[in-house]
Structure 1
């Protein structure tokens, strides 16, 4: 059900792991963006688009190019992609985040986003923001910090 080692060999092979929180944040982000871009669109359409975006990310995340890029980072040297079960659970986490953002006041979604990012940075030295930075433009200083240097 849960794999506790963020940089272990079985990360992304179980139902959930530390990165499930990041996929919840995807849901918050997708809800906000789609609400701003098309506030009158039916909820089912915005949800479908959010699920499509998350599924597209899950596919892209498991391509050799992205897996190799992740492996360049300090925390993902042994990463070899997500299991199907993990990808489905990550998509479900994004859906939960989407509905949370719909139901909660904006300030609560923003506060929860910040709290999760800070919690993950403290606990596993990684989070959605660092993950994006390291994917787009790997930084040696972040890599050193992530391994405790």
Structure 2
């Protein structure tokens, strides 16, 4: 299910569209601090969600693993496989991830993060970080296309356990705290 050249170009064009929409939304292109780094390792700093990679990049790789699994199931068990080549699955995943990035950087979600998670000072992603998040998702998608399903599941579980151990947060807790905040979890996360 790896993309062919037209699908790869479409995925790149969708990334470009995300860049333009986020700039039009007034999102900063890079960290407002003016520094561009590959890695931002301090979750409670103004660098988090501003640079190319941070602890949440692991969650975006997991998004790619999940999107690949969903795409594989859709193409295998629905009529979609008879209508559209599975090589178009990556651009669809990029579209979904780009849509999440737009929602995540809307005032609604930014305010939600601030009020119910440990991301008290969260101000949204830089455009650089949003595009990188889509890139991390695409990497996860491509890795999943090359791995057996069990290996993809194992990789996702390792990433979840690793980030839970390192920063007391991961994709599972992030979703839980956005959808149904639990004060005890927030207290535990804050006691680093």
* Equivalent of residue 32 in structure 1, options 44, 64, 69: 69
Query: 5+ unaligned residues in a row in structure 2: which ranges?
Result: 1-37
Deviation at 1:7, TM superposition (A): 2.3
Secondary structure, aligned partner of 1:38: helix
- 1:55-102 superposed Cα distances (whole Å, 9 cap, x missing partner): 000000000010000011342000000000000110000000001111
How do residues 104-119 of structure 1 correspond to structure 2 at under 5 angstroms?
104-119=147-162
Secondary structure, aligned partner of 1:138: coil
2:181 matches 1:144:
no
TM-score, L = length of structure 2: 0.75
Aligned length: 149
Report the equivalent of 1:2.
39
Structure 2 CA distance, aligned partners of 1:42 and 1:31? Answer: 14
Secondary structure, aligned partner of 1:72: helix
Structure showing greater Rg: 2
Report the equivalent of 2:12.
none
Runs of 4+ aligned residues of structure 1 deviating over 3 Å after TM superposition are: none
How do residues 1-149 of structure 1 correspond to structure 2 at under 5 angstroms?
1-39=38-76, 40=81, 41-148=84-191
More deviation, 131-140/37-46 = 37-46
Query: 5+ unaligned residues in a row in structure 1: which ranges?
Result: none
Cα RMSD, aligned residues only: 1.2
Structure 2 CA distance, aligned partners of 1:55 and 1:23? Answer: 11
